[in-house]
């Protein structure tokens, strides 16, 4: 299924609108120690997938106005807060094709900037008028879920006994929870019943898990320019990924021998050999099938929405499936 050109124009319009709002957001100029790097983060070339999903789900319920706008900005700020702190924890040097905050400034600045972004996200979500308490509670539940997922991500580093189920639980929190919130908030704003809210939340969880598995794949099979960050960093730092767990499960001895062989190779050669290993042993195919399975599960969740209203969300799911970065 190819990507619909009309839908792509809708996506680009939302991206442009979000970018313009973030670039012109009325933050103060001083102290420069805080606001210069904060504005630098928000001017980064992010994909804006989370506010896009929230707005598209809002379209399914014919929502418009300040509540949907504030919610879209709040989830994008929450996401950026997690990225700034994630870059500190992983010592990443590049994000969205530009130096990370701790690379361009320092770690102390990064912590402060992340905290300030989170506070602003709280302000925005607190300005919502419809079903405000439920949405505020869900927002904070998810913020903690993301922290839990990040904790598991760090805790699992270097642990070869981590199972696929444990990995899936980790990415459901780290990635799926926020994407689930983006699909759930419009249902809460339009006062849908609990079944609709739950199914949309599960839709987000499922496509979020697919997204993370796909990210694991792209980190090896894409290129650094498209990804906006260096390739192979997760595997080299011994993080658990869909590819490494699948390799341990399908060809444990071959994977162990391979890891020993490449341990002193330069990064470019390592990436080349990883691609070959994952291809030849059907690891790539297995991980891609798992990603596709969760996308289909997500599409099944959408059946709770009238057929005439769910087309944009189906197209969004296809858009995720075909992304290259």
Is residue 238 predicted with pLDDT exceeding 70? yes
Query: For the segment 220-233, what is each residue's pLDDT rounded down to a tens digit?
Result: 998 766 655 567 77
Total Cβ atoms within 10 A of residue 325 = 14
Strand partners of residue 36: none
Q: Is the pLDDT of residue 274 over 60?
A: yes
pLDDT in tens, 79-97: 999 999 999 998 888 888 8
Is the per-residue pLDDT at 1 higher than 80? no
7 burial type by CB count under 10 A (0-12 exposed, 13-18 middle, 19+ buried)? middle
Using one digit for the tens of pLDDT, what is the confidence trace for 189-203?
Answer: 999 999 999 999 999
Q: Tell me the residue ranges of DSSP E strands in 26-183.
A: 94-95, 98-99
Share of the chain above pLDDT 70, in %: 98
292-313 confidence digits (pLDDT tens): 999 999 999 999 999 999 999 9
pTM (predicted TM-score) = 0.94
Return the pLDDT at 230: 65
Average pLDDT along the chain: 94
Q: What is the pLDDT of residue 96?
A: 84
pLDDT, residue 315, reads 96
In whole angstroms, what is the distance from residue 17 CA to residue 12 CA?
9
pLDDT given at position 235? 79
Distance (Å, whole) CA 187 – CA 217: 32
**Domain ranges for the chain:** 5-319
pLDDT at 227: 55
pLDDT, tens digit, 9 for 90 and up, residues 99-125: 999 999 999 999 999 999 999 999 999
> Has residue 276 got a pLDDT over 80?
yes
**How far apart are alpha carbons 188 and 128 in whole angstroms?**
11
pLDDT at 171: 98
> What pLDDT, on a 0 to 100 scale, did the predictor assign at position 91?
87
pLDDT at 324 (0 to 100): 81
Query: Is a pLDDT exceeding 70 seen at residue 260?
Result: yes
Query: For residue range 9-55, what is the model confidence (pLDDT) as tens digits?
Result: 999 999 999 999 999 999 999 999 999 999 999 999 899 999 999 99
Distance CA 228, CA 230 (A): 7
Question: Per residue in 129-164, pLDDT tens?
Answer: 999 999 999 999 999 999 999 999 999 999 999 999
What is the rounded distance in angstroms from the CA atom of residue 204 to the CA atom of residue 295?
A: 10
Name the CATH topology of 5-319.
Answer: Farnesyl Diphosphate Synthase (1.10.600)
Query: Would you state the pLDDT for residue 137?
Result: 98
Residue with tokens 């900005």: 73
């Amino acid at each position: 299924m190819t990507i619909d050109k009309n839908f792509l124009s809708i996506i680009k319009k939302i991206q442009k609108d979000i970018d313009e709002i973030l670039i012109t957001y009325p933050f103060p100029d001083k102290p420069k120690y805080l606001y210069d790097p904060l504005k630098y983060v928000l001017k980064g070339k992010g994909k804006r997938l989370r506010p896009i999903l929230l707005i598209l789900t809002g379209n399914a319920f014919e929502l418009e106005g300040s509540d949907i706008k504030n919610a879209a900005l709040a989830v994008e700020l929450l996401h950026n807060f997690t990225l700034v702190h994630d870059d500190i924890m992983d010592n990443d040097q590049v994000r969205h094709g530009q130096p990370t905050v701790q690379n361009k400034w320092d770690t102390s600045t990064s912590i402060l900037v992340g905290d300030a972004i989170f506070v602003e996200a709280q302000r925005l979500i607190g300005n919502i008028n419809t079903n405000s308490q439920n949405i505020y509670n869900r927002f904070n539940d998810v913020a903690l879920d993301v922290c839990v997922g990040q904790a598991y991500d760090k805790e699992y580093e270097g642990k070869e006994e981590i199972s696929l189920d444990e990995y899936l639980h980790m990415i459901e929190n780290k990635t799926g929870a926020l994407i689930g919130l983006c699909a759930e908030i419009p249902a809460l704003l339009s006062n849908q019943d609990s079944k609709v809210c739950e199914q949309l939340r599960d839709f987000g969880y499922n496509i979020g898990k697919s997204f993370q598995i796909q990210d694991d794949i792209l980190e090896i099979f894409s290129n650094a320019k498209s990804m906006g960050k260096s390739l192979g960093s997760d595997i080299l730092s011994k993080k658990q990924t869909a590819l490494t767990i699948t390799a341990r499960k399908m060809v444990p001895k071959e994977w162990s021998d391979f890891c020993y062989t490449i341990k002193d190779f330069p990064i470019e050669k390592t990436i080349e050999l990883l691609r070959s290993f994952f291809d030849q042993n059907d690891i790539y195919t297995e991980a891609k099938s798992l990603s596709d399975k969760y996308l289909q599960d997500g599409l099944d969740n959408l059946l709770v929405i009238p057929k005439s209203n769910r087309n944009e969300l189906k197209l969004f799911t296809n858009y995720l499936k075909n992304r290259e970065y």
